[in-house]
Amino acid sequence: MILYNVTFNIDNSYHDEWLAWMKSKYVPDLMATGLFVRYTILRLMNEEDNGGTTYAFQYFLKSMNELEAFEKNYSSALQAEHQQRFADKFVAFRTILEVVE
């Protein structure tokens, strides 16, 4: 199993709009690819006040083959839509992990 983790820090002035959009549009579109088996949304609890709120969106895939298909066929469009809607209001980074147990 592969964990595709995307960590976001969103400007607090856009927080509510962003989180609602992520839950109603971005995540459903990502899951509709059929490549992911489940997801989890986590909020960082112990961060300093930097004007933003940090979330980790964790998406699970059966193997690297599904992740490669996602990156080849869907990732760019989803990221572009997010960037267009919330430009300069967030920072994000991605990590790929193997679930060991």
Please report, in tens digits, the pLDDT of each residue of the chain (101 residues total).
999 999 999 999 999 999 999 999 999 999 999 999 999 999 999 877 778 999 999 999 999 999 999 999 999 999 999 999 999 999 999 999 999 99
* CATH class of domain segment(s) 2-98: alpha beta
User: pTM score, two decimals?
Assistant: 0.91
Count of other CB atoms within 10 angstroms of residue 66 = 19
